[in-house]
A and B are shown apart, each in its own frame.
Chain A
Amino acid sequence: GEDVEQSLFLSVREGDSSVINCTYTDSSSTYLYWYKQEPGAGLQLLTYIFSNMDMKQDQRLTVLLNKKDKHLSLRIADTQTGDSAIYFCAVSGGFKTIFGAGTRLFVKA
């Protein structure tokens, strides 16, 4: 079946850039999403990209999509302690949206 994989942890220093990577198997995915989950809260939609795009930038967030390699990344510029959270990659190719296991981002002051 379809699968979405992410590394489990990422640790960065405050002010550095964070890059969270995601790979997926379903080549028919049309929309790809990044969600953020803070402790004890639901998932907050950060951004999404359509499969015919290579890049999308939104303030400190940059999403890169390599459709050939089925690789999606989220870059957070000037990472702050408030960015510490779990980041979920999700892909949607029709009725079902498949979520990755989430990457826990630690930001060291």
Chain B
Amino acid sequence: GAVVSQHPSWVICKSGTSVKIECRSLDFQATTMFWYRQFPKQSLMLMATSNEGSKATYEQGVEKDKFLINHASLTLSTLTVTSAHPEDSSFYICSARDSVGSGGDTQYFGPGTRLTVL
């Protein structure tokens, strides 16, 4: 099946620094990728939809200047958490949409990145 990777899998950083998370579709091209945030024992919260070659679409309440998304190629999207603070600590998961496969617009998920801001 389609594989999506994320890097890093976990990161610890100091408050005020920026952290970049990469999401790659390894064996398919993804014109659309999604970034989610998940708090402990809670469901996924969609943060933004990332479209290749255009600006990301952010969900209501998500600060676009805080969470910078770049989708420069059909296989790579990046999420940069700028000036991270402890409240940004969370599990960030990306997914990539495979629009060509037989399963409709199936989303395949990365393994997630756990961010801890000290």
Contact = CB atoms under 8 A, between A and B. Distances in A.
B117 to A, nearest CB: 18
Interface in A95-109: 95, 97, 99-102
Contacts of B43: 88, 99-102
A30 interface: yes
Contacts, number: 51
B31 to A, nearest CB: 11
Interface stretch (B14-22, B66-74, B108-116): B108-116
A64 B6 CA distance: 33
Contacts of A50: 104
B104 A42 contact: no
Contacts of A92: 104-106
Interface in A21-58: 30-31, 33, 35, 40-45, 48, 50
B67 to A, nearest CB: 18
A41 B103 CA distance: 22
Interface in B73-118: 91, 93, 95, 103-112, 114
A48 B103 contact: yes
A101 B38 CA distance: 11
Majority SS at the chain B contact face: strand
Interface size class of B (residues with CB under 8 A): 20 to 34
B93 A43 contact: yes
B44 interface: yes
B1 interface: yes
11 contacts: A30-B104, A31-B103, A33-B106, A35-B109, A40-B91, A40-B114, A42-B6, A43-B109, A45-B1, A88-B44, A99-B43
